[in-house]
A and B are shown apart, each in its own frame.
Chain A
């Protein structure tokens, strides 16, 4: 164990050595420059910085974020406060911060929220572009959700990708040496597994994460989409219909029928209790298994979403951090984001996340943490297949409305409950047209 740790830390050092050399040019301003030049902080005494974050599903992530924020506070002579709230409470807090022009200076953005709140957010073009010029271009989904019009409204921070977590032992027993590559193969294995009372699991209730993961990813995978590139509603297509028919069929053949009542945490519990053989999820299932159910962790593998006729996709909006337009500390806030995203700091935060988050640029695919546990490698790759709600159209407020109304999820759920797939697709078309024209 000691050997593994020291080798990991050596790797990290070696990585940082390269990173430091590469960053040399970028350290041209802000806190990194202050540290390098041993300069005193430049912000007036009493300057404050408020940051609003979610309570991460990886506790070590919060601890490291707070530690880094405090470190920045010391370096810059700024009084930094980090508030952590539940993910579900972020929307009301952001709305109230924007409307009252008071509250935190930096707020976490999930998926296409920068489009939803663009009018209340400051431009952060300089910071976002500086990072891209240093680390390389952002993943497309990270960029798409952060740029509104032609201005950066959030600095892309990471993605929290999902993959299929599956029981390698049960899949082998069902005749699958590895996780299926295509949806057809997936169905064959799924049928065999369900016959052995080891169904796969997928949520179709009202919960923002998992149900939408299936609804968007599978629709795209079969070649369908809610809108086309120009933003016109395009759900009523033979591709979408195929995706719905496929879902209805595998609901009976392959999936656990509890899924209609599931929320984002139900599949985690079911998998860890051994009642399902596979499910789409972030790395949290595996992390909990490693801590509490090591036997399950040993036989758990991760694999990419099967390919459909339209390709392989994930509904990953990515995360960013935005600065409030009303903030009086915009300069400090930008310095914090610039400093946090700088390699020595970001590397520590990413390591604390242990594979739960993926960096916003392919640069971070080289991070040694991916070598620590090969089981996590699919998460690193998943970001490449990430798309945003509304793809292939542009991200927008309207796409958010379609998302919160669970139109795609309900299209699948109603078909599962017995509505004719054709009628379910037509229902979705009517509702999407209202959302996209309202």
Chain B
């Protein structure tokens, strides 16, 4: 397959000092349309690859890399709306670490993310196991499971706000009518309880994603394996723990990691329900960064609050990629 056209070049490379060049070899080529200059360029593999990748790279650079780098610059500057910022190093981060509301938001972000993710996993798994069985109206039930996840968050959260309302809560009304409580519960009026409500709504919204994805995983498990385990005397729990779980572990891990990233960065749900109140007890990074950057117009400080998420999200993503590669 060696191309005779390159022989002269190879010959020259072999004897760079030679003063006399070997006579060029003329090869009769079949008559063909001469490729254009562009065509010639695209024949080179690295140029073609670059050209094909360029649109994606440009989009990534414009919409991912640039905002990200701008975010880093803002976090290191004293930028406020309308004024050019100047570099202040890590000053914004120092201010954050000295801010009791920020520290509360920091703590809340982790509590919110971890508790909500664990609950979504457990409930999602239970729902997936139930949905994996045959029953009447299976398709309708499966489709309706996804509703909380499909409905726009702001819309569904407004409904929850009404259900948690201090005066008109349907929960309080029901509990009072069945005689379980005599005094209304102020769902969003207490820091701990309000955080519990936020987690509950997040679980309600995110659980269907877990359920449907895990259900897809469950359906790939070969029933013969269960049958074999049953013959060997394994009970239902052992079959789940020793057969099902190891087989769907990869998909489970991916779902958990995706969910963690989304929950870490949650904003809408908390902003609609409590805006970080009462007494700043339910702020998370997203809501506090918004207040500082948008309402106090301190873009630099706000960016530094958001950027606190980055190391944690990066760790999660690196772990995720490592795990997926290992399984490949």
B248 within 8 A of A: no
Is there an interface contact between B81 and A99, defined as CB atoms closer than 8 Å?
A: yes
Is there an interface contact between B81 and A95, defined as CB atoms closer than 8 Å?
A: yes
Q: A269-B168, A397-B296 are in contact. Are A260 and B82 (CB under 8 A)?
A: no
Interface of B is mostly: loop
Is there an interface contact between B295 and A410, defined as CB atoms closer than 8 Å?
A: no
* Of A94, A261, A397, the contact of B166 (CB 8 Å cutoff): A261
**With a CB–CB cut-off of 8 A, which chain A residues contact B291?**
404-405
Q: Which residue of B lies closest to A415 (CB)?
A: B279
**With a CB–CB cut-off of 8 A, which chain A residues contact B194?**
261
Is there an interface contact between A116 and B81, defined as CB atoms closer than 8 Å?
A: yes
Is there an interface contact between B165 and A266, defined as CB atoms closer than 8 Å?
A: yes
The proximity string for A residues 387-428 relative to B, scoring 1 for CB distances below 8 Å and 0 otherwise, is 000000000010011011110011001100100000000010
**With a CB–CB cut-off of 8 A, which chain B residues contact A98?**
81-82
| CB-based A-B contact count at 8 angstroms | 123
Q: Which residue of B lies closest to A94 (CB)?
A: B81
The answer for the CA separation of A270 and B166 in the assembled complex, in Å, is 9
The answer for the CA separation of A15 and B100 in the assembled complex, in Å, is 55
**With a CB–CB cut-off of 8 A, which chain B residues contact A410?**
277, 279-280
Q: Which residue of A lies closest to B297 (CB)?
A: A116
Is there an interface contact between A404 and B296, defined as CB atoms closer than 8 Å?
A: yes
The proximity string for A residues 14-34 relative to B, scoring 1 for CB distances below 8 Å and 0 otherwise, is 000000000000000000000
Q: How many B residues touch A, CB cutoff 8 Å?
A: 39
Q: A404-B291, A417-B190, A431-B100 are in contact. Are A117 and B297 (CB under 8 A)?
A: yes
Is there an interface contact between A117 and B81, defined as CB atoms closer than 8 Å?
A: yes
Is there an interface contact between B165 and A207, defined as CB atoms closer than 8 Å?
A: no
**With a CB–CB cut-off of 8 A, which chain A residues contact B187?**
261
B207 within 8 A of A: no
The answer for the CA separation of A119 and B79 in the assembled complex, in Å, is 12
Chain B residues 263 to 285 lying within 8 A of chain A, measured CB to CB, are 274-280
Q: A258-B189, A431-B101 are in contact. Are A206 and B167 (CB under 8 A)?
A: no
B168, B278, B299: most-surrounded residue (chain A CB, <10 A): B278
**With a CB–CB cut-off of 8 A, which chain B residues contact A54?**
none
Q: A91-B294, A258-B166, A261-B166 are in contact. Are A413 and B275 (CB under 8 A)?
A: no
The answer for the CA separation of A259 and B291 in the assembled complex, in Å, is 22
A257 within 8 A of B: yes
The answer for the CA separation of A258 and B190 in the assembled complex, in Å, is 10
Is there an interface contact between B167 and A258, defined as CB atoms closer than 8 Å?
A: yes
The answer for the CA separation of A256 and B168 in the assembled complex, in Å, is 13
Is there an interface contact between A413 and B278, defined as CB atoms closer than 8 Å?
A: yes
* Of A119, A207, A260, A414, the contact of B186 (CB 8 Å cutoff): A260
Interface of A is mostly: helix
Q: Which residue of B lies closest to A119 (CB)?
A: B82
Is there an interface contact between A261 and B297, defined as CB atoms closer than 8 Å?
A: no
Q: Which residue of B lies closest to A266 (CB)?
A: B166
A293 to chain B, nearest CB (A): 15
Chain A contact patch, size range: 35 or more
The answer for the CA separation of A403 and B280 in the assembled complex, in Å, is 13
A14 to chain B, nearest CB (A): 44
Is there an interface contact between A260 and B276, defined as CB atoms closer than 8 Å?
A: no
The answer for the CA separation of A259 and B165 in the assembled complex, in Å, is 10
Q: Which residue of A lies closest to B298 (CB)?
A: A401
The answer for the CA separation of A207 and B275 in the assembled complex, in Å, is 7
Q: Which residue of A lies closest to B101 (CB)?
A: A405
B136 within 8 A of A: no
A273 within 8 A of B: yes
Q: Which residue of B lies closest to A413 (CB)?
A: B279
B95 within 8 A of A: yes
A220 within 8 A of B: no
Chain A residues 220 to 272 lying within 8 A of chain B, measured CB to CB, are 256-263, 266, 269-270
The answer for the CA separation of A393 and B179 in the assembled complex, in Å, is 53
Is there an interface contact between A397 and B184, defined as CB atoms closer than 8 Å?
A: no
Is there an interface contact between A262 and B274, defined as CB atoms closer than 8 Å?
A: no
The proximity string for B residues 155-178 relative to A, scoring 1 for CB distances below 8 Å and 0 otherwise, is 000000000111110000000000
**With a CB–CB cut-off of 8 A, which chain A residues contact B301?**
438
B98 to chain A, nearest CB (A): 7
Is there an interface contact between B186 and A257, defined as CB atoms closer than 8 Å?
A: yes
A306 within 8 A of B: no
* Of A92, A121, A273, A403, the contact of B294 (CB 8 Å cutoff): A92
A139 to chain B, nearest CB (A): 24
**With a CB–CB cut-off of 8 A, which chain A residues contact B293?**
95
B80 within 8 A of A: yes
Residues on B facing A (Cβ under 8 Å):
80-83, 95, 98-101, 164-168, 184, 186-191, 194, 274-280, 291-299, 301
Query: Considering the complex of A and B, which 6 residue pairs feature the smallest CB-CB distances, nearest first?
Result: A258-B166, A206-B277, A119-B82, A261-B189, A260-B189, A120-B82
Q: List 5 A-B contacts (CB under 8 A).
A: A116-B81, A204-B278, A206-B275, A257-B189, A260-B278
